[in-house]
Amino acid sequence: MLNALGHPIRLAIADLLRQGETCVCDIARHIGAERSNTSRHLSIMLRAGMLRMRKDGLQAMYSLQVPCVCDFLSCATRVVEHDIQERIRVLESIQST
C-alpha cells in the first residue's frame, strides 16, 4: 500500500476518492492527466487492494476499497506539515543570526 501511495498523482487520486465513487474521466480531469496515465495509476492502486472498480455502461467507476487509507493520508499530511514548519523554523533561526 505504501508503494501504491508513493506517487503524488496516486495521493491526489486517493484524496479525491474520499468524496466517493468517481469515474476515470473525472479523476483524470481532477488530477490534470491523460486518461491513459490515470488508468495506469489506478491499476497500481487496484493491484494494491486500495480501490474497487465497477463498470457502469462504458464508464469505469472507482472507489476506495479501504476507507482507512484516508486516516493514513491525514497522518502523512500532518507529518509533512510538521516537517515544513520545522524547516521554516531552522531557516528563520539561520537568517536571524
Return the CATH number at 21: 1.10.10.10
* Res 82 pLDDT > 90: no
Whether 2 is in a domain gets the answer no
Residue 88 in any domain: the answer is yes
pLDDT for residue 1: 73
Does 82 reside within a domain?
yes
- Give the range of the structural domain holding residue 70, as residue numbers without chain letter: 8-95
What is the average pLDDT score of the chain? 88
pLDDT tens digits, 46-77: 999 999 999 999 999 999 988 777 677 677 77
- Dihedral sign, CA of 58, 68, 17, 22? positive
